Amino acid sequence: MSLEEYKGVYIYAQQVDNRLGRIAFELLGKARELAADLDTDVTAVLIGSGIRHLADELGEYGADRVIVVDHPSLKEYMTEPYTHALAEVIRTYKPEIMLVGATAIGRDLGPRVSARTATGLTADCTKLEIGDFPLNPVAGREQKHNQLLMTRPAFGGNTIATIACPNHRPQMATVRPGVMQAMERKAGKRAEVVEYDPGFEANHNYVEILDIVKKVSEAADIMDAKILVSGGRGVGCPENFQMLEELAAALGGQISCSRAVVDAGWMPKDLQVGQTGRTVRPNVYVAVGISGAIQHVAGMEESDIIIAINKDETAPIFEVADYGIVGDWKKIVPDLTKKILSVKKEG
Ligand SMILES: Cc1cc2nc3c(=O)[nH]c(=O)nc-3n(C[C@H](O)[C@H](O)[C@H](O)COP(=O)(O)OP(=O)(O)OC[C@H]3O[C@@H](n4cnc5c(N)ncnc54)[C@H](O)[C@@H]3O)c2cc1C
């Protein structure tokens, strides 16, 4: 493999039902930064059926070029034809970096494509940057420059590892939704569009979809919330979440929770914040009865303002909090709700 042949930062632009997911724009935002450091351009790979028109949107969010693979057999996501399509794009166009969202689809697609193109993949990255590898020079070992340094929690979140892929291309990473930030949309900015046909055979479609059952969630996505009131095990029981709901309603926000709450069956998994839940960035995050384990903090530390309520003044949540209230939430939360409602009434 001649590494020099591989150029450009590519992202997989995930679409479902011919609508681009927010993850595509988030990956484009990060790809633009990496491309600036490498002095190269950004390409989005769009795979599906009847999806050509989505290329314009990708241009407005930062793609210089969009490679479109449009074929009737790609109408619904299926492992084999999508893997074939993306792997062939990589073989033909030779990207230096390939980013995929760590969504349900991306977690299926990314590793298969990396295996098929004989390269490595770092899953669930929380930070991506260009730098030297090894990070510090080691006597007798070549230090390579302009490598993709992929950082992610390791060993159950107890440490942070920075991983590189110095001898194979592309350097592949998956990134969870909500971790990277999309650029502002530039209306009218167009990308060059390239249509590519990797050729499909019957064997690329050996699974037949008989029925698609879509889950309809009643709760709004916590990743879109501007204000979150999040409860932990310290809330005590599912009934007590009513008081958190009331505070969230007074603030015009939503509720979310820690994994301990989900594991106890008090709240659905959709509301879990953290390493194995959602990554959120609200304007205000109120952590109630949450200790602040590293795996929880990983999912909320980018919030603009963090307010922690905990009866234990040594709880690690206070290390990331902008405001901390030490005491029993059962007293503090209703008082806060009352105060906010009375201020709203006066104002
Ligand atoms: C691989 C892996 C992935 C994980 N992923 C996640 C994840 O995505 N999200 C996540 O949240 N966790 C995750 N965890 C679990 C994480 O390590 C913690 O166990 C979990 O976050 C603890 O939840 P908690 O803070 O609600 O509960 P606890 O740690 O039990 O904390 C409860 C807190 O409530 C306080 N409290 C109790 N009563 C009151 C009261 N009356 N008033 C005020 N404060 C009170 C206590 O002082 C305590 O600090 C993961 C763990 C592993 C190993």
**DSSP one-letter string for 190-241:** --EEEE------GGGG--------PPPPSSPPGGG-SEEEEE-GGG-SGGGH
- Specify the residue with its C-alpha closest to ligand 1, atom 49: 291
Output 276-280 pairs: Cβ under 8 A, ≥24 positions apart: 278/177, 278/178, 278/221, 278/222, 278/223, 279/176, 279/177, 279/178, 279/179, 279/223, 280/178, 280/222, 280/223, 280/225, 280/228, 280/256
133-159: burial string, b at 16+ Cβ within 10 Å, e else: beeeeeeeeeeeeebbbbbbbeeebee
Give CA–CA dist 171/190, Å, rounded: 27
pLDDT over 70, % of the chain: 98
pLDDT score of 34: 98
Considering the domain architecture, whether residues 189 and 268 belong to the same structural domain is answered as no
The sign one gets for the Cα dihedral 259, 264, 269, 271 is: negative
Contact status, residue 109 vs residue 101, Cβ threshold 8 Å: no
List pLDDT tens digits, range 44-73: 999 999 999 999 999 999 999 999 999 998
From the CA of 260, give the closest atom in ligand 1. Answer: 23
Confidence of residue 205 (pLDDT cuts 50, 70, 90): low
Computed over every residue of the chain, the mean pLDDT equals 94
pLDDT score of 236: 97
278 ligand 1 Cβ < 6 A: no
Considering the domain architecture, whether residues 163 and 281 belong to the same structural domain is answered as no
Contact status, residue 67 vs residue 196, Cβ threshold 8 Å: yes
- Specify the residue with its C-alpha closest to ligand 1, atom 18: 293
Is the model's pLDDT at 184 over the cut of 90? yes
Confidence of residue 220 (pLDDT cuts 50, 70, 90): confident
With respect to residue 217, please indicate whether it lies within any of the assigned structural domains.
Answer: no
- The amino acid that residue 134 corresponds to is P
List pLDDT tens digits, range 80-135: 999 999 999 999 999 999 999 999 999 999 999 999 999 999 999 999 999 999 99
From the CA of 290, give the closest atom in ligand 1. Answer: 25
Between the CA of 317 and the centroid of ligand 1 the distance, in Å, is 10
Considering the domain architecture, whether residues 183 and 318 belong to the same structural domain is answered as no
pLDDT score of 311: 98
Q: When comparing pLDDT for 26 and 209, which is higher? A: 26
Is the model's pLDDT at 158 over the cut of 80? no
Strands 127-133 and 323-326: unpaired
Structure tokens at 322: 């902008």
pLDDT score of 218: 67
Considering the domain architecture, whether residues 156 and 268 belong to the same structural domain is answered as no
Give CA–CA dist 259/230, Å, rounded: 11
With respect to residue 202, please indicate whether it lies within any of the assigned structural domains.
Answer: no
62 ligand 1 Cβ < 6 A: no
With respect to residue 204, please indicate whether it lies within any of the assigned structural domains.
Answer: no
Number of domains present in the structure of the chain: 2
Considering the domain architecture, whether residues 188 and 262 belong to the same structural domain is answered as no
pLDDT score of 317: 98
122 ligand 1 Cβ < 6 A: no
With respect to residue 139, please indicate whether it lies within any of the assigned structural domains.
Answer: yes
C-alpha dihedral, 299 to 8 to 1 to 109, nearest 10°: 40
176 ligand 1 Cβ < 6 A: no
Between the CA of 182 and the centroid of ligand 1 the distance, in Å, is 30
Considering the domain architecture, whether residues 51 and 107 belong to the same structural domain is answered as yes
Residue corresponding to tokens 């166009």 = 93
pLDDT score of 201: 84
Q: What is the residue range of 120's domain?
A: 3-195
pLDDT score of 314: 98
Tell me the mean pLDDT in the region 148-164.
88
157 ligand 1 Cβ < 6 A: yes
- How close are the terminal C-alpha atoms of the chain, in Å? 67
With respect to residue 208, please indicate whether it lies within any of the assigned structural domains.
Answer: no
Considering the domain architecture, whether residues 105 and 67 belong to the same structural domain is answered as yes
Structure tokens at 345: 């009434």
Task: Write the DSSP assignment of 311-343 as a string of letters.
Answer: S-TT-THHHH-SEEEES-HHHHHHHHHHHHHHH
